A and B are shown apart, each in its own frame.
Chain A
Amino acid sequence: MSLRTLKFVLLGLTVIVAGAVGPFLPSKWMTTLMYAQLFAVYAMGWDILSGMTGQISFGHIFFVAVSGYTAGLLNLYLKWPIWATVPTGVSMAVLAGLLFSVPALRLRGPYFSLVTLILPLAAARLVIILADWTGGELGKFGVTPLCQDSLLNTLEGLLSRLHIDSFRLYQYCNYYFFWVLMTAVGVGLVWLSTSRIGKILEAIRENEEAVEAAGINVAKYKIFAFAVSASVVGLGGALSVHTNEAVFFNSLLSLTSSIEMIVASVIGGMGTIVGALWGGFLVRGGEQLIREIAQWKLPIGAEGLALSFLERWATFIFFALLLVLLFFARQGLLPLLMGLFRQRRGEIRRG
């Protein structure tokens, strides 16, 4: 089986599971996994640039913000419909990516990363300075929902025999919107990453001089990867504004999210795309899982104490577990699995 086929199979299995568990999820988990799908899109978008070419961006949330604020504000103030806000937001993210990448890609290693880190910091200040329009740190409500009433009514009519209450239906609608987005982005990026373009991006990570010596314009490929990456995270950002029905500072410009994109990709396996998707679920689902565990009924009377203790420590424990994972499975889940798979096959062949 070729690497491409293997990745498509793994991607297929993952999205089938994510799609199939939807109806069985309790409401809280449905929201968590909806955002996990969005975050998986961000992680995959980060991975096609940074994971594949080794140009580590610490500030990818910036492109989420450019697209999200563009879409959200156009909708809030100029009443643009979704079909116009989302493409405009994505275009702005790509434009920002191109404008930024041309000078930034001259920089190498830590300098490049530092510059990317400054981007969202600067953008955050701008959002706060322009708080009258952007809502500043509080955000601004009133963005047109992705799942509008007309769509929900149609769905209700279609699914009338299932007797789903309207809140649940609304959740389903958003959940599957992001499921479709994640699947489409996953298919596109797995294809790209295993194409000849992906081969070149990977080669750039390993030895730029050798790629240039093979007659390949390294800068052009890096800029292309930057544009694809910005468009993917921008698409996620613009759609998230419409599901949140608001421009939220904390979801559009959170530095933590920016770092978690890197963590997701590294845990899953840098440059593997499918690994980044898994990592996205682990990062976003993991913390919620620890919270859930904290709320399990304990058999002993000390229940109350343990509960509050664990709940307060959940995020900390989560980060500590991430550290352990990064220390001991640095190459990431997908390469680890593939290594095991190869070993098994090797043993069979030898035996």
Chain B
Amino acid sequence: MALLRVENLRKSFGGLMAVKDLSFHVEPQEILGLIGPNGAGKSTVFNLIMGILKPDRGQIFFKGQEITHWPTYKIVNAGIARVFQIAQYFPRKTVYENVEISAIPNEIFTRAIDPTPKTLQSCERTGLCEHSSDENRCICRQELPGMLPQGGLRRLELARAIGTDPELLLLDEPFAGLSHAEVDEISHLIASLRDEGQTIILVDHNMRGVMRLVDRIVVLCFGEKIAEGTPEEVARNPQVQEAYLAGGGF
């Protein structure tokens, strides 16, 4: 059974059809690339899945359950987490405290659960540790997020997302605005998550950058799916080549 199934999703903003009757699915432990030129509706799809936007019509199923009209926090707790294109963090909290928020349960009246081990684990998995004299123990960084480089902020986003124990991780342009070295680091990080069995949808406008990472690609153009298949199949597709050339190339 598909982990996520999107059926005939449609969303328009005024006269602009941002997503037009889009259907696709993601299998467990798969990495799906959602590719398309700028303005193709990729981020809108993420906002629809996360419940930030409500679709005009169509349905979204997660593990067989319809989640189309659920609020964001409920979708997150069901097992979908999203990494924002522009880092969303708490500027006056330390990196540790930023990551800690996802380790705190949603219930107000519940027995206290110590969020520390979970927080440290998330920091460790995303390389946000600061190693002390004891090299084997991870201590989350204590500085403010504003002190981190772009790559660090992306790690912070990933750490917060992973902290919610997602079965499905949505990555929105994880390489945007990063230096070459940082792109390599974040690719490694995503690859290591994949090797741990994490299901991922990866949005990018740059096909070349994600070819190595993804199992399957869905190509969007003006809100419509124009191709779907393995990276090789999609790269050979004349319609895709045309869309990309018209949109300024790969």
- Complex Cα–Cα for A196 and B118 (A): 14
Contacts of B115 in A (CB 8 A): 196
Most interface-central of B82, B88, B91, B102 (chain A CB within 10 A): B88
Residue B92 at the chain A interface, CB threshold 8 Å: yes
Chain B's interface size range is: 20 to 34
The answer to whether B101 and A200 have CB atoms under 8 Å apart is: yes
The answer to whether A213 and B106 have CB atoms under 8 Å apart is: no
- Complex Cα–Cα for A200 and B105 (A): 10
Contacts of B89 in A (CB 8 A): 207, 210
Contact of A203 among B74, B77, B90 (CB under 8 A): B90
A19 to chain B minimum Cβ distance, whole angstroms, is 31
Residue A303 at the chain B interface, CB threshold 8 Å: no
Residue A216 at the chain B interface, CB threshold 8 Å: yes
The answer to whether A202 and B93 have CB atoms under 8 Å apart is: yes
Q: Which residue of B lies closest to A197 (CB)?
A: B108
Q: Which residue of A lies closest to B163 (CB)?
A: A214
Contacts of B164 in A (CB 8 A): 214-215
Residues A210 and B73 in contact in the complex (CB < 8 Å), given A196-B112, A203-B90, A203-B93 = no
Contacts of A216 in B (CB 8 A): 73, 101, 104, 106
Chief secondary structure at chain B's binding surface: loop
Residue B19 at the chain A interface, CB threshold 8 Å: no
Residue B71 at the chain A interface, CB threshold 8 Å: yes
Contact of B77 among A199, A215, A220 (CB under 8 A): A215
The answer to whether B112 and A210 have CB atoms under 8 Å apart is: no
Chain A's interface size range is: 20 to 34
Residue B225 at the chain A interface, CB threshold 8 Å: no
Contact mask for chain A residues 182-220; partner B; CB cutoff 8 A; 1 contact, 0 none: 000000000000001101101100110111111111101
Chief secondary structure at chain A's binding surface: helix
Residue B72 at the chain A interface, CB threshold 8 Å: yes
Q: What number of residue pairs across chains A and B have CB atoms under 8 A from each other?
A: 70
Residue A100 at the chain B interface, CB threshold 8 Å: no
The answer to whether B71 and A210 have CB atoms under 8 Å apart is: no
Residue B161 at the chain A interface, CB threshold 8 Å: yes
Q: Which residue of A lies closest to B74 (CB)?
A: A217
B157 to chain A minimum Cβ distance, whole angstroms, is 9
Contacts of A209 in B (CB 8 A): 84, 88
- Complex Cα–Cα for A184 and B50 (A): 42
Contact mask for chain B residues 84-102; partner A; CB cutoff 8 A; 1 contact, 0 none: 1000111111000100111
Contacts of A211 in B (CB 8 A): 101
Residues A214 and B108 in contact in the complex (CB < 8 Å), given A202-B93, A203-B90, A209-B88 = no
Residue B76 at the chain A interface, CB threshold 8 Å: yes
Residues A213 and B72 in contact in the complex (CB < 8 Å), given A199-B104, A200-B104, A224-B108 = yes
Contacts of A217 in B (CB 8 A): 71, 73-74, 106
Residue B160 at the chain A interface, CB threshold 8 Å: yes
Q: 20 pairs across A/B with beta carbons < 8 Å?
A: A196-B112, A196-B115, A199-B101, A200-B104, A207-B88, A207-B90, A207-B91, A209-B84, A209-B88, A210-B88, A211-B101, A212-B76, A213-B72, A214-B102, A214-B160, A214-B164, A215-B106, A216-B104, A217-B73, A217-B106
Extra pairs beyond A197-B108, A202-B93 (14, CB < 8 Å): A199-B101, A203-B93, A203-B101, A207-B88, A210-B89, A213-B50, A213-B76, A213-B81, A213-B84, A215-B73, A215-B76, A215-B164, A216-B104, A217-B71
